Amino acid sequence: MRRLLYISTARNPITPSDLESILRVSRRNNAAAGITGLLIAGGRRFLQALEGPEDAVRATFDRIRGDTRHFAAVVLADQAIGERSFPGWTMGFQPGALIGGGGEVATAVAELVAPITDPTLRGYFTGFAETQAAA
């Protein structure tokens, strides 16, 4: 199994309906492909973790990377994993992060990712939320 983590920049300001449609398609495709993960959006940035069978993660990320709704995807981590960090989520999401501003977003994200045992992975998500909250 593989986990890939990336950050990217939205082409246009991200609206709730943009996110809804991304999540609807993602959850359907990811469930079929055995992919789980977490997507956080704040300001014009996305942070997403994808995990699952290596071929499925590669194919999904290739598709995502080609999506014109965002650009400049930078891979932060791409590693073999023994077990999933997001086992229950075909694509989890923290809606408050979209609105941005205020410490409650960072707190909500911290609670969301608290079960993640890998401190580096957890830190990417909490750090992202803190940065957005401060923006």
Q: How many residues does the chain have?
A: 135
Radius of gyration of the chain (CA): 14
Q: Please say which residue, 30 or 126, places its beta carbon nearer to ligand FMN.
A: 30
Interaction of residue 94 with ligand FMN, rule CB under 6 A: no
Residue from 15, 10, 79, 69 nearest 49 by CA: 79
Q: What is the dihedral of CA 37, 124, 19, 14, to 10 degrees?
A: -160
Q: How far is CA 48 from the centre of its chain?
A: 2
Binding segment toward ligand FMN, per CB under 6 A, in 18-26, 94-102, 104-112, 126-134: 18-26
Q: How far is the CB of 27 from ligand FMN (least distance, A)?
A: 8
Single out the residue of 64, 97, 98, 129 in contact with ligand FMN (rule: CB under 6 A).
64
Interaction of residue 22 with ligand FMN, rule CB under 6 A: yes
Interaction of residue 67 with ligand FMN, rule CB under 6 A: yes
Evaluate whether 40 touches 97 at the Cβ level (below 8 Å). Answer: yes
Q: What is the DSSP string of 2-56?
A: EEEEEEEEESSPPPHHHHHHHHHHHHHHHHHHT-EEEEEEETTEEEEEEEESHHH
Interaction of residue 46 with ligand FMN, rule CB under 6 A: yes
Binding segment toward ligand FMN, per CB under 6 A, in 45-53, 79-87, 106-114, 124-132: 45-53
Q: How far is the CB of 60 from ligand FMN (least distance, A)?
A: 5
Residues near ligand FMN (CB under 6 A) are 22, 25-26, 29-30, 39, 46, 48, 50, 60, 63-64, 67, 69-70, 91
